[in-house]
Amino acid sequence: MIALALREFHQFQAAGRQFLYLVPSAAVFELDAAAEAVVRLLREVARPEDAVVEALADTFPPPALKVAISELRDVRAIGYQHQPDPEGPKFLPMMPFPLSTMVLNVTNQCNLACTYCYEYGEDKIVDTEHGKQSKFMSEATARESVEFLLRESAQIAHMTFFGGETLLNFPVLKSTVAYARQRAAEVGKTVDFSLTTNATLLQPEIIDFLADNEIGVTISMDGPRELQNKFRVLHNGAGSYDIVAPKIKALLRRHRSRPIGARVTLTSETLDVTRIYRHLTEEFGFWEVGFAPVTTSPNQTYAISDGGFDRMLEQFRELAYEFQQHVADNRHHGFSNIKDTLEEIHKGVSKAYPCGAGLGLLGVSTDGDVAVCHRFAGSEAHQLGTVRDGIDRAAQQDFLEHHHINDKTDCHTCWARPICAGGCYHEAHVRYGTTRRPNLHYCEWIRGWTDTCLQVYGELSVRNPAFLARFDRDEAKAEAAL
Amino acid sequence: MTHLKAVNRKATRVIESVQGDVVGLQQPPVQPHIPLGCSLAFSPGWEADSTGGTAGLCQPVERDIFDCHLGCFWPAHVPDQLNHAPSCTAKCAAAQKDWRKLDLVFPG
């Protein structure tokens, strides 16, 4: 007899029920008792169908077991041992792929000197001080970038202003928004704007401009005073908390046209997720708070090590369960990391690439060079054309060819790959010197976090399915807008 | 599905894809890609190929155009492309899509 064996999946429990997250399809199924018993039995050892039915015949009627086995086979949760599933084909995206987000580095200069910054610290890729790139983007380059975006985008285009400190080049930002609005109207497209800032330069007239123009704002901030002041310092080493706090409060009071989020960089020395979250939501009133571990080579003292990742996971979990409770009660919770992952789980995203970089998202340097993403803006090795000459399709093709999940052998045995796909290119570049390698230093953390998100997803699928259905509606709305 | 419940959207799609309404070639194990069934003989169960589509069958007309006269013993009615109508398929780059563009050929 031909033995049945388990295929690739991750099993998890939520709301007292059993679920499977199938890999690589990224489908989530809830199992009934019979199906769960079959999976449990096959986990011990592969065995033929008859043996499975016989072993479980005391608990479940054989016809029901046979149906359960056939259903599990249909969805490829189990299969014949001698007949493994073929490896997924390597499909490259259809070209030309529409550009959905352009990140415009309007300056590579900054009025802060955050010690962990990837743009200025020891791990920097581009020399922004003595390099060939201009320190500020000119109005002409910004306009060429707008034309580039409108040429390459579908109906809706997102434009994100970035730096350096974005607001150091506010005049160009301001005129570019007006220009992009006008040009988008002429070609019948819509442009949506957002920016990231350290908040030091938020003046009332700038805040008015951002609010009136419905520009999405993300504030880079690390939390309470002593955490913020640890790394986010001025050039003279003084902390920035007292400078930014009143300005952020003014922004949150005035800017009501878009939800405003905070983006926190976590380091080994500021690893206090729940406290930071409380401070930023309760003290300031941020609508959402997102966390990201600092990108750095492992030899920096502030790099998060294995133990640090465990601690971070513990705290992320605490917030995730809090999020779950809020959502189950139909209340808002601003922990944005989990919301993004829940959406991906809900849609069943199975990624060939970790993010949209080099595909739907491109970074533009101050001189108008197009790069894989904003973190590589200005780097010749990661250039994918210029805003004047357009996307270098051959370079883009080459990039996509060499960063596909099929080429990341280490990932092929990992159940979290549909969501992770190897992780951030920039992180890999800083750690391993190449964007092509998966980020093996945080695999355990990714699996732990994905497992948590799956549990929350399973729980919400039982307790508040309407919340998850909202992801479908959001997408339908976006499609209708097209 | 009675023992598995689709929870996310992808799971619903997986179920849709495995619950084909036509048996025939869709039965596992998956068959190699061979054209089977023919428009001249009606044989129920062969309306779809192993992938659930029709491209692998002789059944659709676009399949007859090339497969029957090149790969099959059946003398399909296609123009003589060697002598009489060498360019009758010139506008038909992909038969599945472009078969309507085939030129009409009249006996000369």
Closest-CA residue of chain B to A459: B7
Does pLDDT of B74 surpass 90? no
Residues of B in contact with A34 (CB under 8 A): 3
**Residue A110 C-alpha from the chain's centroid:** 24
- The token pair at A391 is 């996307």
Q: Where do the DSSP E strands lie in A49-114?
A: 78-80, 99-105
Cβ distance of A75 and B4 shorter than 8 Å: yes
Q: Where are the domains of chain B?
A: 1-77, 78-108
DSSP result, chain B: --SEEE-SHHHHHHHHHH--S--GGGSSSPPP---B-BTTB--TT-SS-TTSSSTTBS-SHHHIIIIIHHHSSS------TTTT-TTTTTT-SSHHHHGGGPPP----
C-alpha distances out from residue A52 to A29, A49, A65, A125, A354, Å: 21, 5, 8, 57, 39
> pLDDT tens-digit profile of B12-43?
999 988 876 555 555 555 554 454 555 444 44
Give the DSSP letter of residue A414: -
Sole residue written with tokens 């676009």: B62
B36-62 residue pLDDT tens: 555 444 444 555 666 666 666 654 555
CATH of domain A3-80: 3.90.930
Domain limits, CATH 3.20.20.70, in chain A: 99-396
pLDDT at residue number B42? 46
pLDDT of res. A151: 96
Query: Environment class of residue A332 by beta-carbon count within 10 Å: exposed (0-12), middle (13-18) or buried (19+)?
Result: exposed
Checking ipTM against 0.85, whether it exceeds it is yes
Q: Is A39 on the interface with B (CB under 8 A)?
A: no
- Out of B64, B67, B98, B103, pick the active-site residue: B64
CA distances from B70 to B39, B64, B90 (A): 16, 9, 17
pLDDT value at residue B30: 53
Nearest to B28 by CA among A78, A62, A418, A65: A78
Question: Could you give the residue range(s) of every CATH 3.90.930 domain in chain A?
Answer: 3-80
Judging contacts by C-beta atoms under 8 Å, the chain B residues touching residue A74 are 15, 18-19
Other CB atoms within 10 Å distance of the CB of residue A35: 28
CATH architecture designation of domain A99-396: Alpha-Beta Barrel (3.20)
Nearest alpha-carbon partner for A114 in A235, A23, A1: A235
The residue with tokens 């689709």 is B6
Residues 164 through 223 of chain A touching chain B, CB cutoff 8 Å: none
pTM (predicted TM-score): 0.84
* Percent of chain B at pLDDT exceeding 70: 43
B chain contacts of residue A28, beta-carbon cutoff 8 Å: 6-8, 10-11
State the sign of the Cα–Cα–Cα–Cα dihedral A444, A446, A452, A457.
negative
Residue that the structure tokens 């590579």 belong to: A108
Strands (E), A272-379: 288-293, 361-364, 369-371
Residue-wise pLDDT tens for chain A (482 aa)? 789 999 999 999 999 999 999 999 999 999 999 999 999 999 999 999 999 999 999 999 999 999 999 999 999 999 999 888 777 788 899 888 999 999 999 999 999 999 898 877 667 778 777 778 899 999 999 999 999 999 999 999 999 999 999 999 999 999 999 999 999 999 999 999 999 999 999 999 999 999 999 999 999 999 999 999 999 999 999 999 999 999 999 999 999 999 999 999 999 999 999 999 999 999 999 999 999 999 888 888 888 888 889 999 999 999 999 999 999 999 999 999 999 999 999 999 999 999 999 999 999 999 999 999 999 999 999 999 999 999 999 999 999 999 999 999 999 999 999 999 999 999 999 999 999 999 999 999 999 999 999 999 999 999 999 999 999 887 777 666 55
Confidence of residue B67 (pLDDT cuts 50, 70, 90): low
Would you call B64 a catalytic residue per the annotation?
yes
Please answer whether residues A187 and A166 qualify as being in contact, where contact means their C-beta atoms are separated by less than 8 angstroms. no
Chain A CB contacts of B10 below 8 Å? 25-28, 347-348, 350
CA distances from A19 to A29, A454, A455 (A): 6, 9, 9
Contact B14 A458 (CB under 8 A): no
